[in-house]
Structure 1
Amino acid sequence: MNALSRVQINLLACTLLLGCTQVLSQDFEPLPKSAAQQGDTDEKIALGKKLYFDPRLSATGTVSCNTCHNLMEGGDDGRPTSMGVDGLTGPRNAPTVWNSVFQASQFWDGRVPTLEDQAKGPMVADVEMGMAGHDQVIGRIQAIPGYIRKFESVFGPSDAVTIENAVEAIAAFERTLITPDSAFDRYLSGDKVAMSDVQIRGMELFESTGCTECHSGPAFNGWQPGSDGEFVEFPRITDSTFVKKYDLISDLGRSNATGDRSDDHYFKTPTLRNITLTAPYLHNGRVGSLSETVRLMASTQLDAELSDDEVAELVAFLSALEGRFPEIALPRLPSRLGESVLQQPEAAKGFGDATGH
C-alpha cells in the first residue's frame, strides 16, 4: 500500500465513522481568550510593553524584542534567521510571539520553560541584542528616571529595578498576546458557516492523516494547561528528498541544549495558530511557502505523499487558524532629559576635534 492510498483510506474511515463535517473533538479545542496570571496588573503589563518595544536594551540601541517578534504582523520578522546587533544573524528562525504563552517551553529546542526565562536570553546573546550581561541591561534601565519610577510603582520602592522584575513585566505583556476567535474557533463553538467547505475538508484531512499526533490542543502544538514540554523527532523519515533539499539534519536541535545525544534532531512542536503569517518556515527558515511546508511535513513525519488538492485543502484549513489580533498602540518610552543612555563610541567622541567642526 503506498502512502497516498493510506491517506485516502484513513480519510474514508474518518468520514464513515464520524460524518463528513465532524472530527475527533479531543484533538481540537478553541483558543482561550485570556492567559492572565495573578499579579498581571494593567500597570505591570504597560511597563512590560515599554520594555518589549525599547531598543535601548540592546548594545547598539537598535534591537528590541519587537525587532525579531514584530507585533505589527505575524509576531516574527519574516527572515529565514533573525538579524541582531551589527547585522549579525543567528542559526534559527524566530518563532512567533503570538500565543507563545500556550507553550510548555520556549525556543525551538525548549531550553527554558517560561516566558520570563525566554526574555532573559536574547538580551545577552551576542547575535541578538548583544548586551555584555544582565547588569548592563539593568544599568541602562536605571539610567532613565522615568523607568525607575515605573518599576517602583509596580514592584515597590525597595530594589525595584532588577532583571527578574524586568522579565516579569515583559512576560505579563506577552501573556496578552493571544489571538482567539479565528474562523476555526467560531466553527468549534457552533457557527457551522464560519469555515468554508474546503477548509472543513482540510480539517478532516488534517486529522485523518495524523497531523494531530503532534499538532493538537488549543494552540495546535500539543500543549495543555500544566503539561510538560514535548519534543518530536524531526525529520523522522530521513530518506525523504526534502531532508537534503532543505538541510534538515545539520541542526541537532534539543541536544545542543541538553548535551544528550539521544535528543539529536528533537524539536519543540510549534504552534500552527496564524501560521499563514509567519513564512518562511521551519527551525532554519529555509522553506518559503506554506504549501511546500505541508508537503515536507507529510513526507518527513508521516511518510505520506499528498496530492495537489490535498495540499490546497490543508492550507485552506490552516488559513482558518488566523485569529483576532488585539489593538496595540505604540508606547511612549521614558527618556533622560537632553542626554542619551547609549555610550558614544570613542572614535565619534573625537571626531569634532579632529576635523575642526
Structure 2
Amino acid sequence: MKRTLLAAAAAILAVTGVADAQTYPWKPTKPVTVVVPWGAGGSTDQVVRLLAKEIEGALGQTVVIVNQPGASGSIGTKSVLEGAKDGYTWASGAAKDAGTYAVTGLLNTKLDDWHLFLGVINASVISVNAATPYKTLDDLVKAMKAKPNGVTVATAGINSSGGAALGAFSQAAGVQARQVTYDGGNPAVIAVAGGETEATTQLAVEQAEMLRAKRLRPLAVFSTKALQLEGVGEIPTVSSQLPAFKATDNYFGIFVPKGVPAEVVKTLEMIWADKIANSEALKKYATSRGAIVAPVFGDAAKAAVMPAVQEFAWGMWDRKEGKVNPETVGIPRP
C-alpha cells in the first residue's frame, strides 16, 4: 500500500510539473541564443549566463550564450536587431547602451526597438592599480589636472559603462584622461591590475576579484549610494567627493527585438515575474559581486533606465562626443 501511495504521489507531482511547464504560452522547439556583445567574463557575460540558467530551468530548453564583441557592443547588438524575428535570438547588455547607440552613431536603434528584461543594477567604480600613488579620488583628480591626457584609464569603449562613467566624471571634475579601450570590461580590468594602465572606471562586478586581491585600489563608486562589497568594505560615492557629479542607475539584462511572436514576450514576462524575481542565485551573485537585484520588464523597465540614457546621451552631446543630437532620436534633456 505504501509503495502504491508513493507511486501515486510521484505521478501527481510529475503531472503537476508538466502542467506548470505548459502554463507558458511559448514552448521553444530548439535552443535559444543570447548574443553577449562583449568579451567573456565581463559584467554582461556574468549576469546573462546566470539569467540563462534560470530561463533554461523554466523552459526546459537550452539557452546558448554567444560572445560577439566589437565597436562598444554595437556589432553583436546589430546582428540581433537585423536577424530573424522568430524569437530564438536575443541581445543583452546595459539598457543604457541600447538607448544611446544612435547618439554615438554606432547603431541606428532605440529603446522602443526592444522588449527589455532586466536583472540587476551595476555600478561603475573608479579604481587604480595598487602600485600607483593615488590614495584618494582627490589625488587622482589633481594628477589629471596636472597632466591633461596623461593618466591612462582602461574601459571597454566609449559606449560601455566604463566609458560612460569616465566621460561623466571628466566633465564633472573638469579633467582630461587618456582612455584606453579593450574588447570588454574584463580585459580592461586585467590591464589595470597588470600595470598596463593606471586606472579603470569599469563595473564593480568586473573588478570584484582584483579589488579583493588588493591588485586594485577602489576610490569611489558611480552610484546614488555607497557600495558595500564583500571582502573590500564600503566604497564611497563619487558625488560625496565631487558634488557636480550626478549618479544614475545602470540596468543590465536581456533585450528581445520587437517583432517576435507575442507568445515569446508573454512567456518571458511570466518567467521574470515568477522565477527571476525570486532567484536565489541572482541574489547570491549580487551580494558577492557588488550588484543590486532589480528584476523589471516592460514599460517599468523603460521608465527605470531612461534617467541613465538621458544623462549619458546628453553628456556625450555636451562634451561633443556624440554624433547625433539626442533630441532628434527621442531622448529629452534631463
Quickly name the TM-score band, shorter chain normalised.
Answer: under 0.3
The alignment's TM-score, normalised by the length of structure 2, stands at 0.26
Q: Which has the larger radius of gyration?
A: 1
